[in-house]
Amino acid sequence: MKTIADITQPELAQALQRALDNKTKPVGSLGRLEALAQRIGLILGTLQPELREPQMLVCAADHGLAARGVSAYPSDVTWQMVENFLAGGAAVSVLARQHGIALNVVDCGVRHDFAARPGLIVRKIAPGTADALEGPAMSATQCAQAIANGREVVHGLPGNALLLGEMGIGNTSAASMLLARLAQLDVADVTGAGTGLDAAAVQRKIGILREVLARHADATAPLDALAAFGGFEIATLTGAVLQAAEERRVIVVDGFIASAAVLVAAQLQPHLLQRCVFAHHSGERGHALMLAHLKVEPLLDLGLRLGEGSGAALAWPLLHSACALLREMASFESAGVSRSEDVADPSRA
């Protein structure tokens, strides 16, 4: 695997900061938009960053563990929502359309056969993962193939920005177990309502996840944990993140499930986090702990817990604005505006 390099680049970082400080505004007055502009400039390696042809990648798959009642919805909702994405009726479909983001839906392992159509990419490993309480959700070979699929799909997409989304009934369980294992946290602290379980059902879910974690106590390495807990969509996103980072695309991370894929990828290649912008703080219980473990700060906090890439699409205009301000906002010199230090009498400033 190619090592993903550090992109800190002190000289470029300093040049970006000077450019931001020289805009017609008090220093730092655009707050976190300035840090966002600098990050995008570093990812793309330029003082004039421009985001081109953004691609939303929604990876979908079913989970064998869903049969044990870890979700409030039946597994059929996975394929039904894929149809909704492709028909343009889902939240992410609306938001992607609104913001000019290309929507790519990947069948990574849905228990349904879809008719071919634009926007659908079929990379089905199997019709859903196995029940992780009975054995690994995926074999090592299946896990490797899903990662390779994610890499191949991203390599074939245009543009310099990738937004991550997902769909899979039961995938908050997989994400919770990945976080618990890889961050060494108690699964009760990182497990929430998912699609809307009541308090009693959440406790049953936690009990099942504890059993699965115990069943796979030896799955401590990132890829071993990913194979043990699933799912195909998370593994495909892991490959997508690794490829996008190698290609120095801006990676916009959605919520809890997408962050779980980044968690796995970052344990393999820590510097890829430098290429990531975390869109929002999800309402799903474990996400705050996920973000804290990764030491990242999200752009938005709207109480979202839908997934699909909806939060990434909502955050997208902020990235556009940050780049536009860096490229187009006048400097003090070009606008003929006096700096604060140019004011002769400070009392008149």
Instruction: Kindly state whether residue 332 falls inside one of the protein's structural domains.
Output: no
CA–CA dist 52, 49 (Å, integer)? 10
Instruction: Kindly state whether residue 245 falls inside one of the protein's structural domains.
Output: yes
Instruction: Kindly state whether residue 40 falls inside one of the protein's structural domains.
Output: no
Instruction: Kindly state whether residue 196 falls inside one of the protein's structural domains.
Output: yes
| pLDDT tens for the chain, residues 1 to 349 | 889 999 989 999 999 999 999 999 999 999 999 999 999 999 999 999 999 999 999 999 999 999 998 998 899 999 999 999 999 999 999 999 999 999 999 999 999 999 999 999 999 999 999 999 999 999 999 999 999 999 999 999 999 999 999 999 999 999 999 999 999 999 999 998 877 889 998 899 999 999 999 999 999 999 999 999 999 999 999 999 999 999 999 999 999 999 999 999 999 999 999 999 999 999 999 999 999 999 999 999 999 999 999 999 999 999 999 999 999 999 999 989 998 766 555 554 4
Sign of CA dihedral 316, 317, 323, 326: negative
Q: Encoding tokens for residue 268? A: 């393999």
Predicted confidence at residue 2, as pLDDT, reads 86
Options 233, 308, 328, 341, the catalytic residue? 308
CA–CA dist 251, 249 (Å, integer)? 6
Q: Is 308 a catalytic residue?
A: yes
CA–CA dist 202, 191 (Å, integer)? 8
Instruction: Kindly state whether residue 281 falls inside one of the protein's structural domains.
Output: yes
Whichever domain contains 233, its CATH number is 3.40.50.10210
Residue linked to tokens 């973000």: 291
User: Between vectors from CA 249 to CA 221 and to CA 4, what angle results, nearest 5°?
Assistant: 40
Of 236, 254, 232, 255, the residue nearest 110 (C-alpha): 232
Predicted confidence at residue 348, as pLDDT, reads 46
Q: What distances in angstroms separate CA 190 from CA 36, 117, 184, 199, 200, one per listed residue?
A: 28, 38, 11, 14, 16
Residue linked to tokens 């609104």: 98
Instruction: Kindly state whether residue 37 falls inside one of the protein's structural domains.
Output: no
Burial class of residue 3 in the structure, from the number of CB atoms within 10 Å of its CB (0-12 exposed, 13-18 middle, 19+ buried): exposed
Cβ atoms of 252 and 279 closer than 8 Å? yes
Of 166, 176, 194, 150, the residue nearest 310 (C-alpha): 166
What is the domain extent for residue 225? 55-318
Domain total for the chain?
Answer: 1
CA–CA dist 265, 234 (Å, integer)? 10
Residue 327's H or E segment, with its range, is helix 310-328
Instruction: Kindly state whether residue 122 falls inside one of the protein's structural domains.
Output: yes
Instruction: Kindly state whether residue 32 falls inside one of the protein's structural domains.
Output: no
**Secondary structure class of 128 (helix, strand, coil):** coil
Sign of CA dihedral 160, 154, 260, 65: positive
User: Between vectors from CA 67 to CA 61 and to CA 68, what angle results, nearest 5°?
Assistant: 125
